[in-house]
Amino acid sequence: MERTSHRSQQFKESVIREMTRVARSVGAVNLSQGLPDLPAPDEVKEAAVAAIRADINQYAITWGSPNLRTALATHYHKRYGMKVDPETNIVVCCGATECMIATLMAICNPGDEVIIFEPYYENYGPDSWLSGATPRFVSLRPQPARDPHTGLMQTAWVVDLDQLRAAFNERTKAIIVNTPHNPTGHVFTRAELQLVADLCIEHDVIAVTDEIYEFIIYGDHQHHVLATFPGMADRTVTISGMSKTFSVTGWRLGTCIAPADITNAIRKVHDFLTVGAPAPLQEAAAVGLGLPDSYFIGLKAMYTKKRDYMMDVLSESGFDPIAPDGAYYIMANIGPLKRAGENGTEFAMRLAREGGVATVPGTTFFWNPADGDNLTRFAYCKQDATLQAGAEKLLRFR
């Protein structure tokens, strides 16, 4: 008798989290996992301490504290013009990671298909399998493009639109749209999202958007919320969270905004997965969402500076980096630095052990690992001193 399920045998442990363990074991600068070493805002930390001291330490309402749900409704109305009912349209989960698995388990049946853009955040494949669905991949490809502001040619990630149209069929239940995108940093354009919306309406498909990096966008790029497109409010689950915006990845606070019937289904799954998210931290998150616009403007400026610094470092170190439009990762071509016969995972391990910098090999972001052999992902959600230490090691590694 097999002691483990067939579902659990379909995927491996997270390579992203594994690379953090590798970094710690060899003393490497950790530019792998999206794990900020930046301080959370003082107002948010103090609100958490105050909630704990006020003994808000027992279970919150399963699907989220009233204060946080009210703050979320205000946030989505103020920034995106969405009408969100705190009582019927919101679920607070233990991170956006739980939001995604709870959502797919709430909407998918065996035999359904879930469309995923590739390269993809590594959880999406296992989430589909655990939900009984089959993932179907659509490519994001690096292609030469002319910068509309400078007129210079650069490499950018673009959606294979023909492949996207062909992916929809009678078995398609959902499409996952991660924007800003991890690992590429692609920010989906309004035109790309409009095609997604048109196809979802045509084929009666639910869109599940992962918008955890919604405030980290560069230049003139804009974050478009798919749920606000005509015909999409009733067929979109909008997922986000506090981890990236406030540098509190350990707090595990994620949020789902969905139509009432889907919300009810997500709430039931969430209830039996984790019961509820940490009560005092939910009170602090409500305070964070109410911070003045200057905080979110400053966040963008800070990460713009870090992105530009790392782009220069990687280029000087012999990599071929592709500039992200959002999020805080850079996918870089490692071809010039690989040894003969070395695959992407072996390169990343050598870079960590010999070069002293941990990254995530591109192989983990592709259904066929060989498609990511020439790529690795750098996370720059780090203090300047951490990035400088990494830069020194990368230059020596070259």
Identify the domain containing residue 32 by its residue range. 8-40+294-397
The CATH number of whichever domain residue 274 belongs to comes to 3.40.640.10
pTM: 0.95
Q: Which of 235, 266, 289 marks a domain boundary? A: 289
* Residue 226: per-residue pLDDT: 98
Residues 216 and 351 reside in one and the same domain = no
User: What one-letter code names the amino acid at 192?
Assistant: E
Q: Which of 262, 289, 316 marks a domain boundary? A: 289
Sign of the C-alpha dihedral, residues 395, 32, 212, 170? positive
Residues 130 and 196 reside in one and the same domain = yes
**Residues 327-334, mean pLDDT to the nearest whole number:** 97
Judged against a pLDDT cut of 90, whether residue 7 lies above it is answered with: no
Q: Which of 289, 321, 344 marks a domain boundary? A: 289
What is the domain count for the chain? Answer: 2
| DSSP secondary structure code for residue 237 in this structure | E
Residue 91, domain member (yes or no): yes
Judged against a pLDDT cut of 80, whether residue 147 lies above it is answered with: no
Sheet containing strand 113-118, strands side by side: 90-93, 254-257, 236-241, 206-210, 172-178, 113-118, 134-146, 153-159
256 to 98, 267, 365: CA distances (angstroms): 10, 10, 24
* Residue 148: per-residue pLDDT: 61
Q: How far apart are CA 286 and CA 283, in angstroms?
A: 5
pLDDT band at 246 (very low <50, low <70, confident <90, very high): very high
User: What one-letter code names the amino acid at 78?
Assistant: K
Hey, which residues does 322 pair with through a beta bridge? Answer: 331
* Phi-psi group of 368: left, alpha or beta (phi > 0 → left; psi -120 to 50 → alpha; rest → beta): beta
The CATH number of whichever domain residue 25 belongs to comes to 3.90.1150.10
Question: Mean pLDDT in the chain?
Answer: 95
**Residues 259-265, mean pLDDT to the nearest whole number:** 98
Residues 171 and 67 reside in one and the same domain = yes
pLDDT in tens, 18-46: 999 999 999 999 999 999 999 999 999 99
- Helices 279-289, 42-53: axis angle to 10 degrees equals 150
Q: For residue 60, what are the contacts with CB-CB under 8 A and spacing of at least 6?
A: 92, 276, 277, 279, 282
How large is the C-alpha radius of gyration of the chain?
21
Q: For residue 31, what are the contacts with CB-CB under 8 A and spacing of at least 6?
A: 357, 358, 359, 378, 379, 380, 382, 387, 390
Residues 32 and 58 reside in one and the same domain = no
Residue 233, domain member (yes or no): yes
Q: How far apart are CA 106 and CA 131, in angstroms?
A: 8
Judged against a pLDDT cut of 80, whether residue 222 lies above it is answered with: yes
**Residues 339-358, mean pLDDT to the nearest whole number:** 95
pLDDT band at 104 (very low <50, low <70, confident <90, very high): very high
Residue 380, domain member (yes or no): yes
* Residue 153: per-residue pLDDT: 64
- Helices 95-107, 260-273: axis angle to 10 degrees equals 120
Helices (H), strands (E): how many in the chain?
12, 14
* Phi-psi group of 384: left, alpha or beta (phi > 0 → left; psi -120 to 50 → alpha; rest → beta): alpha
H-assigned helices in 81-223: 95-107, 124-130, 161-167, 190-203
